[in-house]
């Protein structure tokens, strides 16, 4: 079984949390029993999370060696010029080494997404922009670190697709079985 879940902002990609007070987890969304996440999505990121009860499938989806593209829509602080976009496309060097060159394009107009709860802070004097970033690797908080490295801090991060699967038609907190 493979399940596509639209993970809301602030939810952990696990079924239990031992912190005090406990934070929201996947257990609160009525997902089928016996499935596990194929990869992770930070608690402050939103969007597509794939879950399965098949260990081999989870490995093929999550392991960067299989190079499944992961597509993110990223709201960044600032108005990226072509030099900033080229620096992203080149694959910025992070503390843990160079990144593989991602696909990067500006989304204009901004994507039509569900409202985030809580909303992203809006500042009248600081512009923002939306980018689509496609990765074929998966490091901890990689998109956020890449945009920061080129002077464009991430305000909102939504994963919209992993390989052929996408989040379209799923509201935050909802899921569907996929083939």
Residues labelled catalytic:
42
Residue 60: its H or E element: helix 55-62
Q: How far apart are CA 148 and CA 102, in angstroms?
A: 15
Residue 28 has what DSSP assignment? Answer: G
d(CA 125, CA 139): 32
Distance CA 116, CA 9 (A): 7
Q: Does residue 109 have a cis bond before it (omega within 30 degrees)?
A: yes
**DSSP states of 91-157:** --EETTEEPPPPEEEE-SSPP--PPPSSPPP--TTS-EEEEEEEESS--TTHHHHHHHHTT--EEEE
* Cα Rg of the chain, angstroms: 16
């Amino acid at each position: 079984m493979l399940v596509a879940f639209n993970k809301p902002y602030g939810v952990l990609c696990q079924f239990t949390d031992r912190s005090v007070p406990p934070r929201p987890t996947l257990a609160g969304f009525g997902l089928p029993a016996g499935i596990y996440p194929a990869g992770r999505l930070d608690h402050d990121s939103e969007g597509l999370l794939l879950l399965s009860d098949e260990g081999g499938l989870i490995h093929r989806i999550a392991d960067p060696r299989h190079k499944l593209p992961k597509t993110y829509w990223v709201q960044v602080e600032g108005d990226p010029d072509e030099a900033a976009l080229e620096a992203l496309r080149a694959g910025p060097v992070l503390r843990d080494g160079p990144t593989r060159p991602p696909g990067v394009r500006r989304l204009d107009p901004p994507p039509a997404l569900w409202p985030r709860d809580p909303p992203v802070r809006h500042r009248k004097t600081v512009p923002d922009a939306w980018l689509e970033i496609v990765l074929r690797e998966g490091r901890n908080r990689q998109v956020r670190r890449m945009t920061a490295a080129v002077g464009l801090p991430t305000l909102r991060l939504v994963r919209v697709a992993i390989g052929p699967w996408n989040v379209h038609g799923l509201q935050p907190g909802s899921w569907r079985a996929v083939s």
